[in-house]
């Protein structure tokens, strides 16, 4: 099968499958009471199904099976993603707390390293393992934090997965590219249900965790062959640029206010954008376009030198700090309108 057709079908199968699995997950959630209730800082109006992660993973699998033949070396990615989806779903149901989730993420990162799918940033395998753990745990939790407004995690996940697929294709990893694009299609198929007014289903930890993991694994594996040395990590961050920025903003904001980083609050990039753009759909569009631009920049950096990567990375950090300072300086004025907007649903992350 021609590579172009394989990749197109991977996205299309993921998209089509999601349009089937998401309505089924909605019905299953209502029948089993698997709902996210509007308590605390959550502002959605009514209990909402939160089995979106199950639907996305079920939509992701058919393309892997049909178009990923011979890609047994990537089976560990699929297995670990399913494991994280189960852990996340249990957390959505009973609330596991951060420790069991992080333990599962560390185990998944270790499995990638053991399968030879991690970066070689050092001659020390111990340091390579540490790099894989920091990357995977960081990206998974960044996507988990990004799941705080309708369409946010699904949109960024679709775009980041597409960017990871493009990087894999450029590096000649066509089967890995098909895997990433099938996830992109599944996330895209989830969005119409998540962005309806009101939202018909939430992604939940059962979706944000495996989506973040697959993106992290695909970017790490497909960038291994780039001759950038340790700069490869800097270039890779751009493929998850918005979740990274959002995580940094939340850490700074909550530390400044003296609250725990793990507490839920309406202080994310999405909430600041919602105050200006007014609707979750407009926020999702802004997030998608911005993350697409970052992915394109990341693809360009993989064709340059390590010096250029570090230079651009420095600029990105400076701009990110400027954005955080600007958003924090106006947070008091923005927080009240954002909290007082009961028509804007927010999933629990």
Is 305:230 a contact under the CB 8 Å cutoff? no
Q: What DSSP designation does 195 have? A: S
Residue 116 gets which letter from DSSP?
T
Rounded Cα gap, residues 183 and 178, in angstroms: 9
> Where residue 122 falls among pLDDT bands split at 50, 70, 90?
confident
- Contact of 147 with 156, CB cutoff 8 Å: no
Per-residue pLDDT tens digits for 226-256 = 777 788 899 999 999 999 999 999 998 888 8
Q: Which of residues 318 and 43 earns the better pLDDT score?
A: 318
Nearest-angstrom CA–CA distance, 51 and 46: 16
Per-residue pLDDT reduced to its tens digit, 4-19: 888 999 999 999 999 9
Residue 344 backbone dihedrals phi, psi, to 5 degrees: -95, 110
Residue by residue, DSSP assigns 8-45 as: HHHHHHHHHHHHHHHHHHHHHHHHHT-EE---TT---S
Please report which confidence band the pLDDT of residue 326 belongs to, taking 50, 70 and 90 as the band edges: confident
Residue 6 CB burial class (10 angstroms; 0-12, 13-18, ≥19): buried
Q: pTM of the entire structure?
A: 0.91
State the burial class of residue 86 (Cβ atoms within 10 Å of its Cβ: 0-12, 13-18, 19+). middle
36 backbone dihedrals φ, ψ, rounded to 5°: -100, 120
**Could you tell me which of 229, 251, 220, 192 has the C-alpha nearest to residue 309?**
229
Give the model confidence (pLDDT) of 51-101 as tens digits. Answer: 999 999 999 998 877 765 545 678 899 999 999 999 999 999 998 889 999
Pick the more confident residue, 180 or 229: 180
């Amino acid at each position: 099968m021609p590579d172009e057709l394989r990749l197109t079908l991977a996205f299309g199968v993921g998209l089509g499958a999601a349009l089937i699995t998401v309505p089924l997950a909605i019905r299953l959630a209502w029948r089993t009471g698997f709902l996210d209730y509007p308590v605390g800082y959550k502002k959605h109006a009514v209990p909402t199904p939160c089995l979106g992660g199950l639907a996305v993973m079920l939509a992701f699998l058919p393309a892997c099976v049909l178009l990923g033949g011979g890609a047994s070396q990537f089976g560990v990615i699929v297995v670990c993603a399913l494991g994280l989806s189960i852990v996340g779903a249990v957390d959505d149901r009973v609330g596991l707390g951060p420790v069991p989730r992080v333990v599962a993420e560390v185990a998944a990162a270790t499995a990638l390293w053991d399968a030879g799918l991690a970066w070689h940033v050092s001659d020390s395998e111990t340091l390579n393992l540490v790099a894989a753990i920091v990357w995977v745990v960081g990206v998974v939790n960044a996507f988990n934090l990004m799941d705080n407004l309708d369409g946010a995690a699904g949109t960024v996940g679709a775009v980041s997965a597409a960017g990871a697929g493009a990087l894999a294709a450029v590096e000649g990893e066509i089967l890995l590219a098909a895997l990433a694009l099938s996830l992109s299609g599944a996330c895209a198929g989830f969005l119409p249900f998540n962005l309806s007014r009101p939202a018909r289903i939430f992604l939940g930890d059962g979706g944000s965790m495996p989506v973040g993991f697959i993106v992290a694994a695909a970017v790490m594996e497909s960038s291994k062959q780039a001759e950038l040395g340790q700069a490869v990590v800097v270039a890779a961050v751009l493929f998850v640029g918005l979740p990274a920025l959002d995580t940094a903003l939340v850490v700074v904001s909550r530390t400044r206010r003296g609250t725990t980083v793990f507490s839920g609050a309406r202080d994310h990039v999405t909430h600041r954008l919602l105050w200006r753009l007014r609707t979750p759909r407009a926020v999702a569009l802004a997030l998608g376009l911005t993350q697409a631009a970052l992915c394109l920049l990341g693809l360009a950096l993989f064709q340059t030198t390590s010096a250029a990567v570090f230079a651009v990375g420095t600029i990105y950090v400076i701009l990110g700090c400027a954005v955080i300072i600007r958003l924090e300086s106006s947070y008091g004025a923005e927080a009240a309108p954002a909290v007082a907007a009961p028509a804007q649903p927010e999933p629990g992350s």
